[in-house]
Amino acid sequence: MDMVLLSPVDLGLAATLILLLGVVSLKLRLHQARQLFIAALRCTLQLLLMGYILKLLFAASSPGAILIMALVMLLSAGQAVTSRMHRPLSGRWSYFLGVAAMFLSSFTVTLFALFIIIDITPWYTPQYAIPLFGMMLGNTMTGVALSMDTLTTTVFQNKKSIEGRLMLGEKWRQAIQDQITAAIRTGLTPIINSMATTGLVSLPGMMTGQILAGSPPMTAVSYQILIMFLIAAGTGFGVILAVHGTARHLFDHRHRLRLDRLT
């Protein structure tokens, strides 16, 4: 069965639901209507722009263009990580650590999938490389943002306890281990919950899209399992790298807690 094409009128009908939700928000005085409309507008414009860019990338099929696109996505994700933190590191350290963690995890896992698992030729085939990296980066970004925010917030809240452990002779890694563990668990919770409920509570977007496009259900299921495992690995490695990098930055070479490195 051919996929049903959506017209601007169809999308407009869907947009009326957002408008209705905004009206209800105003009636209930939730103070979310403006943010809702802005988010919907940004979503529309960004997806339309991405559609045109992907059209050009598919036509060019150039490794340089693919890498530039991936770099732009990575840098944008780093900015999103920083903006979600209540107590980011001073300077641009939250941004740099977040970008580094996502680069080492998302890029590595994506390349592993393209070269080893899918084994597509050429490896930079846009219809595989860009969506795969986008899914990896989006989920890793969420985990990294949650874990870094949890770590800096809990360290600030428990500064007296941490400093007390340092005074008793513990090294910085021992004194902050509880906060590191809590931060990593927080960062991993969304993907673990997602894997635990996928197929039972929800049908993920990629699987649904493939089925709507006419792919056999079992083919869509196979790809979704692959994606979930890749996302879990990428998120896990990214969270661990980001948390340990942030934790190390909060202490100096004499194992002193440096809260002045938080904003």
Tell me the per-residue pLDDT of 74-113, one tens digit each, with 9 for 90 and over: 999 999 999 888 888 888 899 999 999 999 999 999 999 9
Question: Among candidates 52, 103, 133, 128, which has minimal Cα distance to 242?
Answer: 103
Residues with Cβ within 8 Å of 225's Cβ and at least 6 positions away in sequence, in order, are none
| Cβ neighbour number for residue 116 with a 10 Å cutoff | 8
Residue 174 structural domain: 61-261
126 and 215 inside one domain: yes
90 and 130 inside one domain: yes
Condensed to tens digits (0 to 9), the pLDDT of residues 250-263 reads: 998 888 888 888 88
CA 103 – CA 234 distance, rounded (Å): 10
24 and 90 inside one domain: no
Name the DSSP letter for residue 7: P
Residues with Cβ within 8 Å of 150's Cβ and at least 6 positions away in sequence, in order, are 182, 183, 186, 187
CA 117 – CA 5 distance, rounded (Å): 32
Residues 31-60, mean pLDDT to the nearest whole number? 89
Region of poorest pLDDT, from 28-32, 126-130, 208-212, 228-232: 208-212
40 and 138 inside one domain: no
Confidence of residue 203 (pLDDT cuts 50, 70, 90): confident
CA 240 – CA 205 distance, rounded (Å): 26
pLDDT score recorded for residue 2? 58
Residue 47 has pLDDT above 70, yes or no: yes
45 and 155 inside one domain: no
45 and 158 inside one domain: no
Q: How many CA atoms lie within 13 A of 5 on its CB side?
A: 2
Name the DSSP letter for residue 4: P
105 and 196 inside one domain: yes
Domain count, the chain: 2
- Residue pair 254/175 in contact by the 8 Å Cβ criterion: no
Residue 119 has pLDDT above 70, yes or no: yes
b/e for 138-166, b at 16 or more Cβ within 10 A? Answer: ebbbbbbbbbbbbbbbbbbebeeebeebb
69 and 30 inside one domain: no
Residues 202-212, mean pLDDT to the nearest whole number? 74
104 and 2 inside one domain: no
102 and 189 inside one domain: yes
pLDDT score recorded for residue 254? 87
CA 263 – CA 149 distance, rounded (Å): 12
215 and 236 inside one domain: yes
Q: DSSP alpha helices (H): ranges in 103-216?
A: 108-112, 126-157, 159-167, 172-175, 177-197, 205-212
Residue 240 has pLDDT above 90, yes or no: yes
Grouping H, G, I as helix, E, B as strand and the rest as coil, residue 29 is coil
pTM above 0.95, yes or no: no
177 and 82 inside one domain: yes
CA distances from 252 to 95, 115, 156, 165, 173 (A): 20, 40, 16, 16, 12
Grouping H, G, I as helix, E, B as strand and the rest as coil, residue 170 is coil
